[in-house]
Amino acid sequence: MNVKKIFDFQTALALNYKSLGLTDDEYVLLSITYSLVNNGVKFVNPSDLTLLCGFSSTKIDVIMTGLISKKYISNEFDSNGNIITSFNGIENVLLKEIKKELETEEKKNEETKNSDVNIAKYMEEFFNRPLSPLEYDVIQSWKNKNYSFDLIKGACDISAQNGNKSIRYIDTIIFEESRKMTLGTEEYQRRQQETIELSNVDWLNK
């Protein structure tokens, strides 16, 4: 993907300036300066910026000097010998941030895809046969609920130990184990005990 073609400097700057260590004042000046350059101003000096923000010319000069020292912006000469304000430095930094985010997202999507395939493959090996549509549907529900592979594998181990290798039994084990993790062991056991006690009540003779 050519990130440069879909690059929106103003949006990228707004979303990433904090992570780049820029202050709010630096962000404001960068944004205004970029807008001026984008609208035909070749070289932006402090006097241009004093007309567009509430900063003094001294403060603007200090901030701009800092941005130049960070190599986020620079003053260069074009082919005609005219001085121009360049944003190549910060554009390259922002492009790296965007590419990093895209790569992270692609990696996450790939890991999710591989995880889904691995679960289905693992279940086929566990049952030693192809999965039925019903079993695929149950596995899809595990994915929707973000159950981890370790949780699923643990449930399969328990079902094998108990001699009941059915998808519904495994699903019940996963549900109970997930509930236990959510509630905490003590609260889960307390609620289990309450359920047992209620089930032993002879409601017809009360």
> Got the DSSP string for 124-139?
HHHHTSPPPHHHHHHH
Residue 1 pLDDT greater than 90, yes or no = no
Question: Which CATH class for the 7-93 domain?
Answer: mainly alpha
Looking at the chain, the domain(s) classified CATH 1.10.10.10 span 7-93
Check residue 206 and give its pLDDT.
47
Please check the confidence at residue 49 and state whether its pLDDT lies above 90. no
- Mean of all residue pLDDT scores within the chain: 82
> Do 52 and 31 contact (CB within 8 A), yes or no?
no
pLDDT tens per residue, range 124-171: 999 999 999 999 999 999 988 888 888 899 999 999 999 999 999 999
pLDDT value of residue 2: 47
Mean pLDDT of 69-80: 89
pLDDT value at 201 more than 60: no
187: closest CA among 195, 142, 155?
195
What is the pTM assigned to this prediction? 0.51
Cβ partners under 8 Å of residue 171, min gap 6? 138, 141, 142, 155
What confidence category does residue 194 fall into, taking pLDDT thresholds of 50, 70 and 90? low
- Residue 97 near residue 20 (C-beta atoms within 8 A): yes
Q: How many CB atoms lie within 10 A of CB 182?
A: 9
Question: What's the pLDDT band for 98 if we cut at 50, 70, 90?
Answer: confident
- pLDDT of 189 > 90? The answer is no
56-to-32, 35, 63, 88, 99 alpha-carbon distances in Å: 15, 19, 11, 26, 36
The predicted structure's pLDDT at residue 3? 47
In the predicted model, what is the mean pLDDT of residues 30-59? 88
pLDDT, position 113: 64
